[in-house]
Structure 1
Amino acid sequence: MSWWEIVVIALAGLWAGTINTVVGSGTLVTFPVLVALGYPPVTATTSNAIGLITGTVTGAWGYRHELTGQRNRLIRYSIASFIGAIGGTILLLSLPPDAFEAIVPVLVGLAVLLVAVQPFLTRWVRRRRESGEVPVGPDAGTRHAPLLYFLIFLIGIYGGYFTAAQGIMLVGVMGLMLSEPLQRLNGFKNVLSAVVNLVAGTIYAFVAPISWPVVGILAVTSTIGGLIGAKIGRKLPPTVLRVIIVIIGLAAIVRLLTQ
């Protein structure tokens, strides 16, 4: 590995760690870089997943204040992500490389759409609550819990297979089904993404081809990026954060369609 390749990978890891914490989809920075440098797609995917673990954990820790009092919910959501991530890693190691990627642009597009329309749906739900058409209070929305867990599980499968843009999907789904501030949803997203990366990375480390020099570089720089992202993301107004999510999501679709 030459010095300029080290610099390129380091910068990609820094940017991925930052953007993963703010909105997700940092893999769409590092994965193409590794492939362009000559790493096989599977090795690029597995090395990327392990290398970005520290960055996702750092980002999740950076949002701990937004998640105060949410421990029980986080545990339940994390279990769904944990199980899904195991399924995703099995898919990566057993299916042809392009078997799952064919539907990725569709999934990312749906997530972007969910993020974009969430404010309108939120206002619609608020009006219905104020008119008494739907219940309010701590148990409101409980009937949607099984569907939410199932969707988090499916996103965990996707994240365990490819990881890119799983954060956008999580924010989109939770934004429609939970009456929570966007910053808290972003905190949920960071924790669940960290769970998926930890599970997938641990499995990959034992049974998949790995470039450990790449892992080391990404681990260091993505950690720094995660700290930067937590500082930036927690200070962004919800509207600005939503616009960034949509823009990154659209960029992710273009990148996936042109690979």
Structure 2
Amino acid sequence: MSALDLLVAAAVAMIAGGINSIAGGGSLILFPTLVALGLGTVEANVTNSVAQWPGYLGGVAGFRPEYRGQRSRIVRLGLVAVLGGTVGSVLLLTTPTEAFDVVVPVLVLLASSLLALQPLVTARLRRQDDDAAAGDPVWLYVALFLATVYGGYFGGALGVILVGVLGLALHRLKLANALKSALSAVTASVTVVVFGLFGDVHWGVVAVAAPAGLLGGFVGARIATRIPTAPLRAFIVCFGVAVSVYLFLRI
């Protein structure tokens, strides 16, 4: 990649990190950018996963006040995320590139659709939101495992899925949003280890995109409650649908 390509990757990674903290769906911006810069779909996916990892850590730092009293819950759910992320990332590396090329347009379209439906899910969760302590239903662990398998395999709009699952289970939307960042970070950490050891990661992109994503994730978490997310979400959804159509045509 040229210096200009790396600069573009860094700029988009910073935006993606902020988007992940504010509305979710940052992968729908960075992944197709890396493909457009010349990476193969699998290489772009693993590079995207590794590069965005610091952005998730920035989001966790920004939501830190929300984690008071949640240590045991984070540990329990985090262990499930480790298992799911491992299964998903290993599945990606053992899937033929040709098969992933066929599946990825569907995944991008699915992620875009989930992001579009997020306001409906959020509205429902807000109506049932309360501050009462809630236990963790058994189905939450099953749903979380399946969600993080998806996150390890592709990861687009994983945050949207996690907010929906956690919100429905815990009836606390603010806590669900904070836990989403923590569990996304856990899943991303697993993919960093697996992809870093066994995946075809473009480390030049990671070197510039990772710190940019960290900054974007932290800033995004700090301003998540201060800016309107609807226009940003609409742009990401439209962009994701366009990317999906493009990838379909490439098959």
TM surpasses 0.5: yes
1:97 matched residue in structure 2: 100
Looking at structure 2, the residues matched to 22 and 37 of structure 1 have their Cα atoms a distance apart, in angstroms, of 26
How far did 1:8 drift? 0.7
Gap change, CA 1:120 and 1:46, over 3 Å in 2: closer
Q: Which amino acid counterpart does residue 224 of structure 1 have in structure 2?
A: L
Looking at structure 1, the residues matched to 230 and 137 of structure 2 have their Cα atoms a distance apart, in angstroms, of 24
| Cα shift readout 1:125-173 (whole Å, capped 9, x = no counterpart) | 58xx9xxxxxx9535xx4x711111111111011101121101111122
Paired residues for 1:63-78 under 5 Å? 63-78=63-78
Q: Which runs of 5+ in 1 are unaligned?
A: 130-135
How far did 1:58 drift? 1.3
1:132 matched residue in structure 2: none
1:226 matched residue in structure 2: 217
Q: Given the two structures, how large is their TM-score scaled by the length of structure 1?
A: 0.83
1:178 aligns with 2:166: no
2:144 touches 2:162 (CA, 8 Å); kept in 1? yes
Looking at structure 1, the residues matched to 105 and 11 of structure 2 have their Cα atoms a distance apart, in angstroms, of 28
2:81 matched residue in structure 1: 81
Looking at structure 2, the residues matched to 204 and 156 of structure 1 have their Cα atoms a distance apart, in angstroms, of 15
How far did 1:77 drift? 1.4
Q: Given the two structures, how large is their TM-score scaled by the length of structure 2?
A: 0.85
1:133 matched residue in structure 2: none
2:240 matched residue in structure 1: 252
Residue from 113, 131, 155 that aligns with 2:117: 113
Gap change, CA 1:111 and 1:178, over 3 Å in 2: farther
2:41 matched residue in structure 1: 41
Looking at structure 2, the residues matched to 73 and 187 of structure 1 have their Cα atoms a distance apart, in angstroms, of 12
How far did 1:199 drift? 0.2
Gap change, CA 1:121 and 1:45, over 3 Å in 2: closer
Q: Which runs of 5+ in 2 are unaligned?
A: none
Q: Identical aligned pairs, as a percentage?
A: 32
| Cα shift readout 1:61-97 (whole Å, capped 9, x = no counterpart) | 1101012111111111111111110111111111221
Looking at structure 1, the residues matched to 111 and 137 of structure 2 have their Cα atoms a distance apart, in angstroms, of 21
| Cα shift readout 1:165-217 (whole Å, capped 9, x = no counterpart) | 101111122222321133x2221111111111110111111111111111111
How far did 1:245 drift? 5.2
Report the 3-state secondary structure (helix = DSSP H, G, I; strand = E; otherwise coil) of the residue aligned with 1:163.
Answer: coil
Larger gyration radius, structure 1 or structure 2? 1
How far did 1:219 drift? 0.9
Q: Which amino acid counterpart does residue 19 of structure 2 have in structure 1?
A: I
How far did 1:116 drift? 1.0
Looking at structure 1, the residues matched to 62 and 9 of structure 2 have their Cα atoms a distance apart, in angstroms, of 24
The alignment covers a number of residue pairs equal to 243
